[in-house]
Amino acid sequence: MSDIQFHNINTNGISMRIAEAGSGPLVLLIHGWPESWYSWRHQLVAIAAAGYRVVAPDMRGYGDSDAPAAAEEYRIDKLTADIVAVVDALGETTATLVGHDWGSMLVWNAALLHPERFNGVIGMSVPYGGRGKEEPLATWRDAMGDNFFYISYHNEAGGVAEAEYDSDPRGLLSMLYASPETPRAEATITDPKRAAGGWIGRIGAPLELPPWLSAEDLDYYVNEFTRSGFRGGVNYYRNFDANWHFMADKNPVVPIPSAFIAGAADMVIAGADEPALRAMMTPVMSDLREVTLLPGIGHWVQQEAASETNEAILRFLRSL
């Protein structure tokens, strides 16, 4: 960690904190929700040691970066413009993109909207299958009905989601930052209906920390969200439909070299194997070079399996 330097840069009308290590070709690491630059602590030094300049920003709405209050300030065009502005602020003309969770969605779209600025893109945990045929929120509402679904919860009026999370950051983060095999207590909310309550009580509290997350790690995340609050990150979810409309007239095919990394036990990919993921992604990727699935690993892949993730990232970087 002593090799990581921190500073704030002005980008796209906001201030962003970045963590930086190494020198060489620029690699940008874009985190998801609810995370921060710290999610890349194992990648920053390892990739820098391989001869790269590696930068992990706190994205808009997180950590020590600015967090505009209005939800429309988190639309996909503004978020991807933030990424381009980081490249500019660092004095570079191009970079390789790596994104996890929401960061994966951001890097896929950055490659679509600004392909001239990036020479390759890796998405992690959230694959890209092109633009859906219908507005996303309506699709999820139809599928879930009156049952709780966290994305619908994030889109409820009045900021109920961030109010719950801000009242108990440790409760939310400890619930989410777990491995598939982490033992848990019984959930306190067992009724699937949204009316029964919010999210924290729906997944039992973990009985122990996973081996990849120390008490100090969890404390860091809790302190970051206690200071910044959750509204910025939740605002990303409030733009699913706006993003869908914005991308309507854009070419849906990622035109630069690409790769995908995920834990095989990640609920996001719902048990999909490599052939299934390739079948989904190949039609909308001009040069899909590798799909890496790590057995037994869950959603927090770059933390749960840091060495294997670093190896997969470096294989792709060396192929460019």
Question: For the domain that residue 50 is a member of, what is the CATH number?
Answer: 3.40.50.1820
Last-in-domain residue among 237, 256, 273: 237
- C-alpha 276/C-alpha 104 separation (Å) is 18
Between CA 141 and CA 152, with CA 146 as vertex, the angle to 5 degrees is 45
Q: Are 166 and 105 part of one and the same domain? A: no
Residue 100 bears catalytic tag: no
Last-in-domain residue among 207, 237, 267: 237
159 pLDDT tier (thresholds 50, 70, 90): very high
Which DSSP letter does residue 180 get? T
Does a cis peptide bond (omega within 30 degrees of 0) precede residue 275? Answer: no
Domain count, the chain: 2
Tokens representing 253? 């095919």
Q: Are 178 and 304 part of one and the same domain? A: no
Q: Are 111 and 217 part of one and the same domain? A: no
Predicted confidence (pLDDT) at residue 175 exceeds the cutoff of 90: yes
- C-alpha 267/C-alpha 299 separation (Å) is 7
Q: Which of 31, 100, 154, 299 is catalytic?
A: 299
Q: Are 75 and 213 part of one and the same domain? A: no
User: 14-21 and 53-57 as β-strands: parallel, antiparallel, unpaired?
Assistant: antiparallel
Last-in-domain residue among 202, 237, 272: 237
Which DSSP letter does residue 284 get? G
Task: Name the CA radius of gyration of the chain, rounded.
Answer: 19
- C-alpha 289/C-alpha 266 separation (Å) is 21
Q: Are 31 and 129 part of one and the same domain? A: yes
Expressed in angstroms, the distance from the first to the final Cα of the chain is: 27
6 pLDDT tier (thresholds 50, 70, 90): very high
pLDDT in tens, 185-238: 999 999 999 999 999 999 999 999 999 999 999 999 999 999 999 999 999 999
Tokens representing 7? 């500073």
Q: Are 141 and 220 part of one and the same domain? A: yes
81 pLDDT tier (thresholds 50, 70, 90): very high
**Residue 125, domain extent:** 5-133+241-319
181 pLDDT tier (thresholds 50, 70, 90): very high
Q: Are 123 and 251 part of one and the same domain? A: yes
pLDDT in tens, 54-67: 999 999 999 999 99
User: Which of 131, 110, 77, 105 shows the shortest CA–CA distance to 268?
Assistant: 105
Residue with tokens 């969605």: 105
Q: Are 218 and 288 part of one and the same domain? A: no
Q: Which of 101, 142, 168, 249 is catalytic?
A: 101
The Cβ of residue 184 has, within 10 Å, a number of other Cβ atoms equal to: 13
Residue with tokens 């990849």: 212
Q: Are 15 and 122 part of one and the same domain? A: yes
How much is the mean pLDDT over the chain?
97
User: Which of 126, 67, 72 shows the shortest CA–CA distance to 262?
Assistant: 126
Residue 31 bears catalytic tag: no
Tokens representing 34? 């609810």
Q: Are 279 and 222 part of one and the same domain? A: no
90 pLDDT tier (thresholds 50, 70, 90): very high
pLDDT in tens, 276-299: 999 999 999 999 999 999 999 999
Q: Are 256 and 194 part of one and the same domain? A: no
Q: What is the pLDDT of residue 239?
A: 98
Q: Are 222 and 250 part of one and the same domain? A: no
**271: Cβ contacts below 8 Å, ≥ 6 apart:** none
| Strand order from edge to edge, sheet including 258-263 | 5-11, 14-21, 53-57, 26-30, 95-100, 118-124, 258-263, 288-294
Predicted confidence (pLDDT) at residue 1 exceeds the cutoff of 90: no
Please tell me the least confidently modeled range out of 2-6, 195-199, 301-305, 315-319.
Answer: 2-6
pTM: 0.97
